[in-house]
Amino acid sequence: MPYQHILVDKPAAGVGRARLNRPAALNALNSALLDELMQALTAFDNDAEIGALIVTGDDKAFAAGADIKEMQGKSQMDMLMAPSLLDRFAVHRLNKPVIAAVSGYALGGGCEVALSCDMIVASETAVFGQPEINLGIIPGAGGTQRLTRAVGKALAMEIMLTDRKLSAQEALAYGLVNRVAPLEDYMQVAIGIAQKAARRSQVAIRLTKEAINKAYDGSLEAGLAFERRNFLLAFGSEDKAEGMSAFIEKRRARWTHR
């Protein structure tokens, strides 16, 4: 389907890509863009030919934040009754891995969108931050939770209370991103990781993603129990039988994703 605020394509076999496309606004996130983005990612998630997804912006900005002009006139009740960014961009509900390919600014809601993805590949120009404090508000789409889990309490406090920005190399050092690559290469690095995931059993990918995300929800004991559940579920799949046979027979597995 045609979109107004995003571009979609399949840059490589098994990979679906959604690109934020509001360059005049540095890809600022408004309601229409977020709705289109989730629609596109859901369509890719339901596409049997796609095994991994990429979310990206352009070289100058992944997304420089939420659209302040859209929010300025909103009241407390307006914000309460409207779907939040968390509701609109529920990547954790997708079965396939989602990689954020980040170049330039990833600030505010843009940083939160990247954090909600399963992996992040950054160009050397990437800048991460949560500058909501400058607007008299706080991050409202997972920033206080996901960023703290990623970099720890002390650094998260500094980033969100003093508007400290993280460079790509700092983000890598603190475990916020998976890879940093030159501007001309970062997209190919993201596509390469996506292809590696897409070539695996989608049954095993889904069960593994669910179990990893569960690690953030509660106690270690609960996480281990959930992992055990998904481990046993995997033994009921056709891909388990094929994967083990292929290993023993020293050949490439032929996944059916069932």
Catalytic residue selected from 16, 65, 106, 112? 112
| Secondary structure (3-state) at 83 | coil
Catalytic residue selected from 109, 129, 142, 143? 109
Q: Is 132 a catalytic residue?
A: yes
Question: Phi-psi region for residue 184, left (φ > 0), alpha (ψ -120 to 50) or beta?
Answer: alpha
Query: What is the C-alpha R_g of the chain?
Result: 19
Which tokens hold the place of 142?
């997972």
* CB-based contacts of 11, cutoff 8 Å, min separation 6: 17, 54, 187, 191
Catalytic residue selected from 14, 110, 132, 204? 132
Catalytic residue selected from 18, 66, 122, 171? 66
| Secondary structure (3-state) at 77 | helix
Q: Is 129 a catalytic residue?
A: no
Q: Is 66 a catalytic residue?
A: yes
Q: Is 109 a catalytic residue?
A: yes
What string of DSSP letters covers 198-244? HTS-HHHHHHHHHHHHHTTTS-HHHHHHHHHHHHHHHTTSHHHHHHH
Active site residues: 66, 109, 112, 132
